[in-house]
Amino acid sequence: GMDLDDDFACLGKRHRRRALRCGGGRDEARGHEERRADEGAEETVAADRANAQARHNLARTYVRFGTALSLLGKPEEATAYMEKAAAIYRELMDKDPLNRGYDSDAAALYMKLGDARWQQRDYPASFATYQKSVGLFEKKVADDAADMRALRNLATTRASVAILHAELVESTAGQT
């Protein structure tokens, strides 16, 4: 059977279509591999809590798990991992507020977390999470107006906010 590494190979770099073709019942093997990788990263962080790079790597690992789980149609599990990553990013950003790499990674995480919450139909939380992403991407663009990745992600997140807002307005229109 396939394991988590195969799932990530299947996912490629943000290729949702390919990921959707890779479905399948590999939960037990994936869960075992996921726990092993998770425990290894957590042990590294526990050995040196002050190691910002280890904490950043752990956050990135959580984001990858969350992304994979979201693409595999498991938004509740995805959200749990992404929330762990968000807590680490908030801590890293508090300790090193000038590190724009953290801002950029956190903004991308909040975009993915907004997507996962949308999948769960938790629209208010999704909206609030997208707004956090927009704020961080706006800060990034203010620092470097030529950062095409930040501009694209800002536009994508704003579009998600607009679509979600329209859905919220439509769903509450009959309730007043």
C-alpha to C-alpha distance for 59 and 86, rounded to whole angstroms: 7
pLDDT digits (tens, 9 = 90+) for 31-40: 555 556 666 6
Identify the pLDDT of residue 39: 67
SS3 73: coil
64-81 pLDDT tens trace? 999 999 999 999 999 999
d(CA 163, CA 118) in angstroms, rounded, equals 11
The pLDDT value recorded for residue 31 is 54
Longest pairwise C-alpha distance within the chain: 55
Backbone phi, psi, residue 145, to 5°: -70, -15
| pTM of full prediction above 0.85 | no
Beta-carbon contacts of 30 under 8 Å, excluding residues fewer than 6 positions away, are: 2, 3, 4, 7
Give me the pLDDT at residue 37, please. Answer: 60
How confident is residue 89, by pLDDT bands cut at 50, 70 and 90? very high
Answer yes or no: is pLDDT of 48 > 70.
Answer: no
Report residue 8's pLDDT band, with 50, 70 and 90 as the boundaries: very low
Per-residue pLDDT tens for 95-128? 888 887 898 899 999 999 999 999 899 999 999 9
Is residue 151 scored above 80 in pLDDT? yes
Task: Tell whether the model's pLDDT for residue 11 goes beyond 90.
Answer: no
Q: Is it the case that residue 155 has pLDDT exceeding 80?
A: yes
Cβ atoms 120, 76 nearer than 8 A:
yes
